[in-house]
Amino acid sequence: MAGVSRQTVSRAVNDKGEIDPGTKERVLEAARVLDYRPSRFARGLVRKGTVTVGLVIPDLMNPFFPEVAAGVLEAAELRGWQVVVWDSRTDEAREREALDVLSHQADAVVGYFKNEDDVLARRLGGVPLVLLERGPQRTRFGAVGIDVAGGMEQGLAHLVRAGHRRIGMLDGERSEGPGERREAFLREVRRHGLAVDDSWVVLCPEQSVAGGEAGAEQLLRVRPEVTGVVGFNDLIAVGAMRAARRRGLRIPDDLAVLGFDGLSLGELVEPALTTLHIDKRRLGRLAVEQVARLRAGEEPLSGTDAWVIPELVVRASA
């Protein structure tokens, strides 16, 4: 339409030099009229370099995950990478769908997955994967973990120090075996010689405030003698506080509540939530770093280098 070769179009569109201003204007005008837009595929084919990473998040309504995502976004942007986000809603089937798509559309995938390594590998078709919150030992993929054991240790030490012996847990992980947090809880409880076993752990119907309320109701019914609770995460812990409150229990005097996450939400509730704070942004940033290593063919960070260590933040609830 502008009567020039496609090469000249390219020069006009890409703002290269080596083109007559008049020609350029003519080309751009034609482009406007024709509503022409360069194909990103053809471009990508010819200019390498656009890296896209897929991010699979289980639950955008839990403030924990947006913060992890923010870390991923931040680190990705620094590298000039793009991030495609998928919400898996903690559904294994949806996780697989996400991989089916992302393995074709992304150069690497980062995220939370409940599916087995084998299942993941099959859908991945060779695309590098970095698992979030899975200990580096527990997968064959790249991983960034949380030092749950260390966190639980601090948390339980704190409760025991405050005189608690009858401590329950509100679990949030519905998987085959016991999840990492529940295991760590039971280990610590044993180490302190408390008369506490599996029956002191209640599985909440969901990882939310409502789920925590329901779980706490049940725990208080089954173990009314409980004086301290550890929540699987902050949302659940806040739920426990509400349930306790509704029962007329004072916090922390009648029931001490400990969270696990360090959401800013915890500072706003009454009383403020004592919690094991996790640097979520760092988690996300580390994940991107792992992707970079994988892509470069290097060994991913492992052990404590790829760990985020929870830090006990004592507030009023425990």
- Quick check: 154 binds DNA (CB under 7 A)? no
Q: Three-state SS for 69? A: helix
Q: How many CA atoms lie within 13 A of 115 on its CB side?
A: 23
Buried b or exposed e, range 160-186, using 16+ CB within 10 angstroms:
beeebeebbbbbbbeeeebbbbbebbb
> CA-CA distance, 249 to 269, in Å (whole number)?
16
* Binding residues among 31-50 for DNA as defined by CB under 7 A: 36-39, 41-43, 45-47
- Closer to a copy of itself by Cβ: residue 12 or 201: 12
**Partner whose binding site includes residue 251, from DNA, a copy of itself, none (CB under 5 to 8 Å by kind):** none
Candidates 264, 214, 281, 266; CA nearest to 243 is 214
- Quick check: 6 binds a copy of itself (CB under 8 A)? no
- Quick check: 25 binds DNA (CB under 7 A)? no
Are residues 167 and 209 in contact, defined by beta-carbon separation less than 8 angstroms? no
**Partner whose binding site includes residue 82, from DNA, a copy of itself, none (CB under 5 to 8 Å by kind):** a copy of itself
Binding region for a copy of itself (CB under 8 A) out of 56-64, 191-199, 213-221, 308-316 = 56-64
- Closer to DNA by Cβ: residue 3 or 193: 3
- Quick check: 36 binds a copy of itself (CB under 8 A)? yes
- Closer to DNA by Cβ: residue 4 or 162: 4
- Quick check: 7 binds DNA (CB under 7 A)? yes
285 contact partners, CB below 8 Å, separation of at least 6:
71, 72, 74, 75
- Quick check: 18 binds DNA (CB under 7 A)? yes
Angle between helices 234-246 and 209-222 (to 10 degrees): 50
If binding means CB under 7 A, how many residues of this protein chain bind DNA? Answer: 27
For residue 222, the surrounding DSSP H or E stretch is: helix 209-222
- Closer to a copy of itself by Cβ: residue 41 or 193: 41
Q: Which of 3, 32, 177, 296 binds a copy of itself (CB under 8 A)?
A: 32
Q: Which of 22, 126, 163, 224 binds a copy of itself (CB under 8 A)?
A: 126
Q: How many C-beta atoms lie closer than 10 Å to residue 105's C-beta?
A: 12
Token pair, residue 199, equals 């029956």
User: Taking the complex as a whole, how short is the minimal distance between the CB of residue 35 and DNA, in angstroms?
Assistant: 12
Let me know if 238 is exposed, middle or buried by CB neighbors in 10 A (0-12, 13-18, 19+): buried
- Quick check: 6 binds DNA (CB under 7 A)? yes
Are residues 215 and 240 in contact, defined by beta-carbon separation less than 8 angstroms? yes
> CA-CA distance, 177 to 24, in Å (whole number)?
66
Q: Which of 5, 7, 137, 264 binds a copy of itself (CB under 8 A)?
A: 264
Angle between helices 64-79 and 280-295 (to 10 degrees): 40
**Partner whose binding site includes residue 270, from DNA, a copy of itself, none (CB under 5 to 8 Å by kind):** a copy of itself
What residues make contact with DNA under the rule CB under 7 A? Answer: 3-8, 10-11, 13-14, 17-20, 22-24, 36-39, 41-43, 45-47
Site residues (vs a copy of itself, CB under 8 A)? 31-32, 35-45, 50, 52, 60-61, 63, 65-67, 69-70, 73-74, 77, 82-87, 101, 104-106, 125-127, 209, 238, 242, 264-265, 268-270
